[in-house]
Amino acid sequence: MEWPACTNEYEKLLRRMNTPRVAIDNAVCPTATLVKVDSARRHGILLDAVQVLTDLNLSIKKAYISSDGKWFMDVFHVTDQQGNKLTDESVIKYIEQSLGSIHNERTNHSNGLTALELTGTDRVGLLSEVFAVLADLQCDVVEAKVWTHNGRIASLIYVKDCDSGSTIEDSQKINRIEVRLRNILKGDNDIRSAKTTVALSVMHTERRLHQMMFADRDYERTPILKFTSDSPLVTVQNWAERGYSVVNVQCKDRIKLLFDLVCNLTDMEYVVFHATITTNGDQAYLEFYIRHKDGTPISSEPERQRVIQCLKAAVERRASEGVRLELCAEDKQGLLAEVMRIFRENALNVTRAEISTAANMATNVFYVTDAIGNTADPKIIESVRQLIGLSNLEVKELPLLWHQKEEREDQTVGGAVWLSIGSLVRRNLYNLGLIKSCS
């Protein structure tokens, strides 16, 4: 009867004895830094390794992953956000130490903050109402991340009590927060699926957002808003001779793409035994050889379709649709509620948000569209900037559609000019008798 416990303890001992070996090499590849990890295998270790790299906003240009048997071996080709090799010794040392300790239990502490988890139906003005309620209840928003996908919203908001400056411990106040936020999220037609949870600590924020949207089954819902960005191409086939299911993903490359996919495969209880990741220009090609935790491949057509849906959703949740606006201003109580109110009154919908405060300064990023998901009118954006402060709110990134619209307008103006010149030339030739008609 004691064997299972003994086996678990033995496995833990083996893991401690086999501390991951990490090597970082800048000499082998001319365009990227090689990060090599060799370790005893366990479920979730690939996600932990990828998380270390993506938390530093490093771009993974190539990767080779193998974890057959009891061992896990990875080679990552990484660059910084500018596409350069890693040269900062402090960053290299941090990677070595973090990857070298990925077998250790790691938990996120509250750091004096209360975590609010919210899911429900997305709509214009929803975040305005959420932050207005928090301001009214004397909750100071320290950090938050908001994702939207297929008409659903998931948000993880870290708050502290304005009076105490720390975790909210009053159970009655916590209950009021939950009730009022739940009522907002329910709206008129989302009574069953809206959820509000208050916790003292959570796991990795972005991994938790994936879990929340997965639990909300956002991948099954028919998209309410249709954008023109390229959709990911996902295929799943079984390799019967080797007992693997082979997953191929082709999509636009971006930072944290590998994390998003591995996060979802891990939470769906699949194990990645082998994988190859390559990039070419702005395109990424990823191939995973997976099995269930019990060693079996995907066994049915409905399961195959579910994997395809979930991995497409994993790519799309972080897609940054709309105009990127960055707010940098002195932090004050109710700042977010005020900014969100202005967005709502100008019919701007926030599709993604990253909110943080440090040293009494608020640094926030918002991606906004118009009320039906199309590119926001530049005049409205400028009007909003005037209201919030031109120096406080800046446009940092325009969607591709905006650039294409400007190009079309330029071409239209240019074409009109050439048409006028052409008409004048034909008229002159007609007057000279060199052509029969000027039409």
CA 172/CA 321 separation, integer angstroms: 39
CB 51 within 8 A of CB 262: no
CB-side exposure of 145: number of CA atoms within 13 Å?
12
Q: What is the pLDDT along the chain (439 residues), one digit of tens a residue?
A: 344 455 566 666 555 556 789 999 999 999 999 999 998 888 888 999 999 999 999 999 999 999 877 888 999 999 999 999 999 999 999 999 999 887 655 555 557 789 999 999 999 999 999 999 999 999 999 999 999 999 899 999 999 998 888 888 888 999 999 999 999 998 766 655 788 888 766 778 999 999 999 999 999 876 554 444 568 999 999 998 999 999 999 999 999 999 999 999 999 999 999 999 999 999 999 999 999 999 999 999 999 999 999 999 999 998 777 999 999 999 998 899 999 999 999 999 999 999 999 888 999 999 999 998 899 999 999 999 999 999 999 998 776 544 444 444 444 444 443 444 445 444 444 444 444 444 4
Contacts of residue 286, Cβ cutoff 8 Å, sequence gap at least 6: 247, 248, 249, 250, 257, 258, 261, 275, 276, 277
- Residue 225 is classified by DSSP as S
- Residue 220 is classified by DSSP as G
CB 354 within 8 A of CB 328: no
What is the distance of C-alpha 228 from the center of its chain?
18
What is the model's pTM?
Answer: 0.83
Number of residues assigned to the chain: 439
Structure tokens at 227: 């954008």
294 backbone dihedrals φ, ψ, rounded to 5°: -85, 5
CB 139 within 8 A of CB 354: no
C-alpha distances in angstroms, 255 versus 54, 202, 269?
7, 23, 24
Element (H, E) at 261: helix 257-267
CB-side exposure of 387: number of CA atoms within 13 Å?
16
- Residue 435 is classified by DSSP as S
Q: Tokens 């990127």 label which residue? A: 324
Q: Given CA atoms 77, 78, 83, 87 in this order, what sign does their dihedral have?
A: negative
